[in-house]
Structure 1
């Protein structure tokens, strides 16, 4: 059984209604944090997640609303007396940048009371995240707009979408995308589509769902200013969109 808890469902624009997009996957004896933007520690406490219960962190890409809370979270783990190791998963290109970020924030390995294990993955690699949870990552086009700056600033342009597999269930987590075709990186069958709604037009979403035919769709990365428009669109297109709705901060779903 996989339990998914939405810690945040907001877009990159700060909101008083939603935290930055982040999720907890709970399976076997693991609690896996997916992305950790600014304010993640407070958001976890707000949703009654014991900080030291998290043993793995998966970071999709290096926009601040997806990773910049990492140093604060690790600092709080130290202050909470953590002794157990924590594993940080991200693409191999991201790992050196994450390490530099943490060192610059004075997260010095020799001064921590627990081990921080960095695990870099390749695209198309079948990564074992837990005993009964694997994923495959495929790079999408979200960060391609920064290509001309890549060498100048030593940027990592990896921005994966993920297909998680738990038992026979497939969960497609879009993360942030560049164009709507990024939502076709993984072919059906898709049981649950967790789809960002900032970087896609509503008629494009309709086309994607028609092609993927997910059993259910949950929308994340929700801009406050577009919520009413999106809600009206969903209500007017229920027949074509199937089981679809906004995800809400604190919401839990169970996948068996």
Structure 2
């Protein structure tokens, strides 16, 4: 869910205030198979997205004026509210400061035609540095159609920033520009509403404060690092070519015996 939320927010908020105020409905479809991936509705004030997985529909409503997002589960009749979505980050969503820094870049690759529309093709690359020194990088392609650019949308009509290994690229099709029904951007009656706490998803899962969860995660991370360092030291004895086969076998048995005790 985190990836979908950040992607949608990236698409929603653009820097050029003078862009057109348009409303539209569209369907994201797999480029190869044509299979429906999700449905979207946009207005200058709201955005709604619907997707279905294993027969369970998830609905996301963004209120750009109030800077709130509503994640609805239709089958369970539940609604999770996220506030200050303009300040949303990985750390805020998770409830733990594990991402130290995040950078991104865009490279223009030229003009390409998507479903008969002349689009600007970009390669978007991002890199994150995590607490403890770990790094993670990712990249994806997106195609921007200038006539679709608006104050609430960046004009993307195709991208491959999806979780699928095959048929990754999805294309926005069956677009209908015009006013959208107001009720689509309201939480229906009868839904059980929960506001995401300051401690993010971790606080929702554990019921503990951000400070308590941070301490627990840090302690667990330190214990894992210490265990890994011990294993590395033990492996030196196992892989030491200057030792006899018997000595190396003894070192291996000692290492395995130590792991069993843990």
TM-score normalised over the length of structure 2: 0.23
TM-score normalised over the length of structure 1: 0.24
Higher normalized strand content (fraction of residues): 2
